Amino acid sequence: MGQGWTRRCSSDRNQRLQLTGVRAIDVAEASGTLLLDVAHRRWSQEMLDATHLDASCLPELFESQQVVGKITAHAANETGLKAGTPVVAGAGDQGAGAVGIVLEGIQAVLEKREVAAYHRKVAPELVARESTRKLI
């Protein structure tokens, strides 16, 4: 691992490197480099040729949910984390935000379903009580 790479990488990539010893990047973040062939989920040979870069100087590509490595003994000693704990690629702020929006939408749908189910159960009882009250 060259020091040049660690000085040029974002904090999350540097943290993954320090925790696992693996140079890793998630494909969403990699797409921001303009060096990624997004359709094929790999570094673009065309862009590497155009920039005179060798793919070996770039981090390994991972999907956000993929395990990139495990906490090393050294990192465990330095941080108090358990050695061998899996570390995933994670996601940048835009990708994570998109997931959050989807999850909020799912939660809203579930809450609406729960409310509707509750009303289907309780509403007839309330209607019956109200109609009885009006008759008295």
Clarify whether 37 is annotated catalytic.
no
The alpha carbons of the chain give a radius of gyration, in whole angstroms, of 25
Measured CA distances, 115 to 77, 104, 106 (Å): 49, 16, 14
Neighbouring residues of 108: CB distance < 8 A, sequence distance ≥ 6: none
Q: Which of 12, 37, 49, 93 is catalytic?
A: 93
CA distance 24 to 57: 11
* CA–centroid distance for 71 within its chain: 18
Q: Which residues are catalytic?
A: 93
